[in-house]
Amino acid sequence: MPATDKTDIQCVVAEEPAAYSDAIASSDEDTPYTKVSEVTNGLKTVRIPKQTASFESLPSKKNHEAFIRTCVDVLLKEAVFEGTSRHNKVVDFHNPEELEKLFDFGLRNDPSTHDALVKLLKDTVQYSVKTGHPYFVNQLFSSLDAYGLVGQWLTDSLNPSVYTYEVTPVFTLMEETVLREMRRIVGFEEGRGDGIFCPGGSMANGYAINCARYKFLPDVKTKGLHSLPRLVLFTSEDAHYSVSKMAAFLGIGTDNVYLVKTDARGRMDVDHLEQEVKRSISEGWRPLYGQRHCRDDGDKHVQCGRRVDVLKFWFMWKAKGTSGLEQHIDKVFENAKFFVDTIMHRPGFELVVDEPECTNICFWYVPPSLRGAKSHPDYVERLHKVAPKIKERMMKEGTMMVTYQAVKRHPNFFRIVFQNSGLEKSDMLYLIEEFERLGKDL
C-alpha cells in the first residue's frame, strides 16, 4: 500500500528460517518477536510474532514443516556428521553443576518458540556423548549406522506399537522374517524354535529365567509362586548383575542364585557347578536349568504394546545383505587382533587375558613410574589408581572414551570394545598413543 507519511506502517512478512544459523541471526530471545530487516524508505517495520509450539498433536505442513526441516538439518550436520568426525570431541564434558548452568533444563507453563527448541536441540547434541564417534569404545555398542538411522527415523515417524497383526501387519511379518533367519544361522531346523526382541540384556535374562521356570513347572503361570518348591538358579560368579536382579523381580530371590566359580578366562567351572547342583538337591531345593525357549504364541511378551525394535535392524540387514554383516564382523575382529598384536609389543601394556576370544580387549596401561615395580608391596594398589585417573583425563579432554573395571583379584583394567567397522588400523594406533599420552606422568 502507498505510504502517506513517515509514520505509516508497512506490513512485512517473515518466513521461518531455513536453517538454525538463520534462526540465530534473526532471533531475539528477550522478546516474543522475530526480527525482520529494517525498511530504508522511512517507513516503520512491523515485528512479526515468533512462532510458538502448538499443543495439538497433529503435524501441520504450515506450522511444522520448516521447523522439522531445520531440526533435521541440525541433526545431520552436528550429530550425524560432525558428531562422528575424528576431528571433534567424543564428549564436551562438564560436571553436573556446570551443565545445569549451561543447559536450559527447566519446564515452564508457557510454550516455547521454535527458535528456542532448535537451540535446545543444538545444546543437547553439544553436551551429549557421541556414541557414534570412532573413539567411543566404552560400551558393547558403538557407531552410527546410516541405514539404521533411517530405519529408526521411519520407526518414529510411523510411531507403531506391536500388539497384533491388525495394528502392525508389516512389522509383525518383518519380525517373523528376521527371527526365522537368525534361528537358521545359529542352527535351528526349519520351523523349530521361537524368539522375541528385547529392549536390553537385563530384560532378555529375565525372559530366559521366566521361560525356563515355565518349562520346568508350568503351573507357575496359573497357580503362582505359592505352588512352587524353592528354586535355585546357577550362574557364573562373573555374571551380569541382572541375573540376581531378575531373580528378585520374578520372586525367586537373590539368596537362591548360586554363583559358580570361573577360571582365568572367565569360563564356568563345570566341576564346581556339579557340586553346587548336588548341594542344592541335598538341601531339598529344586535346581532350575535354562531350557530351550518354550512356545506360548499369544503371550510371549511382558509388555502389551511395545516399540518396533525390528525395523532398524531389518533395514540395515536389507541394505547391506548378510554378506555385508559378515564383512562388518570380520573387520572388527581384524581391528581387535591388530590392537592386541600391537600392544603386546608396546612398553607399558599388559593383557588381562593373553588371547582374547572376541573383540573385547582387557588390559592394563602401566605408566613408566610403575614399570619394573611389581615386587613392591604397594604395586597393585598404585596400579589400581591408574585407570580412573586416565579415564578422568580422557573425559575432560574428550579425546576418547574407554571404560575400566576391576574383577576378582585384578586391579582396575581397561576394557576396550571394538564394534565399529568404520575404524582403521590408524585408529588403533591413535587409541594406543592416547593411553600413553594421558598416562605417561602418573
**Model confidence pLDDT, tens digit, residues 317-341:** 999 999 999 999 999 999 999 999 9
13 or 258, which is more confident? Answer: 258
The answer to whether 315 and 154 are in contact (CB under 8 A) is yes
Least confident of 41-50, 231-240, 404-413: 41-50
In the chain, how many H helices and how many E strands? 14, 11
Other C-beta atoms within 10 Å of 108: how many? 7
Chain-centre distance for alpha carbon 35: 40
**Model confidence pLDDT, tens digit, residues 345-375:** 999 999 998 888 889 999 999 999 999 888 8
What pLDDT, on the 0 to 100 scale, is given for residue 32?
39
**Model confidence pLDDT, tens digit, residues 93-143:** 999 999 999 999 999 999 999 999 999 999 999 999 999 999 999 988 888
In the Cβ-directed half-sphere of 214, how many Cα atoms lie within 13 Å?
Answer: 16
CATH of domain 313-439: 3.90.1150.170
What pLDDT, on the 0 to 100 scale, is given for residue 47?
45
H/E stretch holding 259 reads: strand 257-260
Indicate whether 315 pLDDT > 80. Answer: yes
| Domain positions in the chain | 9-127, 161-195, 201-299, 313-439
Q: How far apart are the C-alpha atoms of 56 and 162, rounded to whole Å?
A: 25
CATH top class, domain 201-299: alpha beta
What pLDDT, on the 0 to 100 scale, is given for residue 70?
92
| Mean pLDDT computed over 238-260 | 86
What pLDDT, on the 0 to 100 scale, is given for residue 266?
79
47 or 184, which is more confident? Answer: 184
What pLDDT, on the 0 to 100 scale, is given for residue 8?
34
Indicate whether 18 pLDDT > 90. Answer: no
| Mean pLDDT computed over 174-198 | 88
Full DSSP string of 81-124: IGGG-TTS-S-----HHHHHHHS-----SSPPBHHHHHHHHHHH
What is the overall mean pLDDT for the chain? 83
**Whose CA is closest to 359, among 108, 143, 60, 206?**
143
pLDDT bin (cut points 50, 70, 90) of residue 294 is very low
Indicate whether 11 pLDDT > 90. Answer: no
Q: How far apart are the C-alpha atoms of 321 and 319, rounded to whole Å?
A: 6
